[in-house]
Homo-oligomer: A and B are copies of this chain.
Amino acid sequence: MGVKEQRWILTAQCPSRLGTVDVVTRSLAETENYIVTMNSFDDKATESFSIRVEFRPLGGEHSLEKFRELFDARAAGFDMQWQLTEPDHRTRTAILVSKYDHCLNDLLYRYRTGELAIEIPLIISNHPDLKHLADWHGIPYFHLPITPETKPEQEGKVWRLINEYDCELVVLARYMQVLSSELSAKLDGWAINIHHSLLPGFKGAKPYHQAWAKGVKLVGATAHYVNDDLDEGPIISQGVQAVDHNHYPEDLVAKGQDIESQTLARAVRYHTEKRVFLTGDRTVVFPD
């Protein structure tokens, strides 16, 4: 096997209707764009349609041009939102952190190895602690302290930086701040957060200590899109790890951090590979 060919990705979403798949595939075929793999799902709960296609433009840029022109008109007839992603696209990603470095470390490693197709134009934190990591990777680090009083102002700065650096994705890599409704709304659908998930569910402070007190045998993590409902946005990925009686609360925290890192990285990869579609409060995730 040689190297994998360069594939463009077409993603589209619209209300359920007869012909939604057809309009996509026909338009690709007529403009000589070759479908390598595709997934579609018609969600009857929300009556919404989602499709993801990986294709090769047989006629190169010319095929792409023709497709854009042809499909634009047709898609409009289906109220279809669509997007083309080029083969080498790297998603510009702002990472927000506080003091914990496990998720940031993991993301930076996968970024550096190329496992994650992202650029990281900047890292923002309400603490100075992790600047050394940013420095080694040559990434600008913005320390924006926050207090109840300065929160609106600080969030304003965060928002301006995200825009200034043309970010397409925001990752809250254990950013221990509750975002305001305003900022959450602005980031709806393009910001990913990670938090622990324990069985049975524990709310409130020191969740790992609560979980330990129940003698849980699994610790887990959930990566989800940020929305107004704190820690309850649409779920992208979840993971778990076994623990036992030898694990004291501080051990559960360590195990939890491992699974947090892996689960967040997976969610970021799915998002940047355009595998995730929002449908109501749920996500459609087409696996690789």
Minimum Cβ distance to chain B for residue A17 (Å): 9
Interface size class on chain A is 35 or more
Residues of B within 8 A of A77 (CB): none
Q: Is A287 an interface residue (CB 8 A)?
A: yes
When chains A and B are docked, how far (Å) is the Cα of A111 from the Cα of B184? Answer: 36
When chains A and B are docked, how far (Å) is the Cα of A104 from the Cα of B202? Answer: 30
Residues of B within 8 A of A222 (CB): 199-200
Chain A 53-85 near chain B by CB (<8 Å), digits 1 or 0? 000001000000000000000000000000000
Minimum Cβ distance to chain B for residue A263 (Å): 9
Q: Is A185 an interface residue (CB 8 A)?
A: no
Q: Is A149 an interface residue (CB 8 A)?
A: no
Q: Is A130 an interface residue (CB 8 A)?
A: no
Copies of this chain: 4
When chains A and B are docked, how far (Å) is the Cα of A232 from the Cα of B58? Answer: 37
Minimum Cβ distance to chain B for residue A78 (Å): 12
Minimum Cβ distance to chain B for residue A100 (Å): 11
Chain B's closest residue to A36 (CB) is B42
Q: Are B45 and A40 in contact (CB under 8 A)?
A: no
For A102, give its contact among B113, B199, B231, B238 (CB under 8 Å): B113
Q: Is A272 an interface residue (CB 8 A)?
A: no
8 A-B pairs whose Cβ atoms sit less than 8 Å apart in the complex: A1-B212, A18-B34, A38-B38, A43-B245, A199-B220, A201-B202, A217-B237, A245-B283
In the A-B complex, the 5 residue pairs with the closest CB atoms: A201-B201, A215-B282, A22-B29, A197-B199, A245-B284
* A residues lining the B interface (CB < 8 Å): 1, 3-5, 18-22, 24-26, 28-30, 32, 34-45, 58, 101-102, 105, 109, 113, 115, 136, 197-202, 209, 212-218, 220, 222, 231-232, 234-240, 244-246, 248-251, 254, 279, 281-285, 287-288
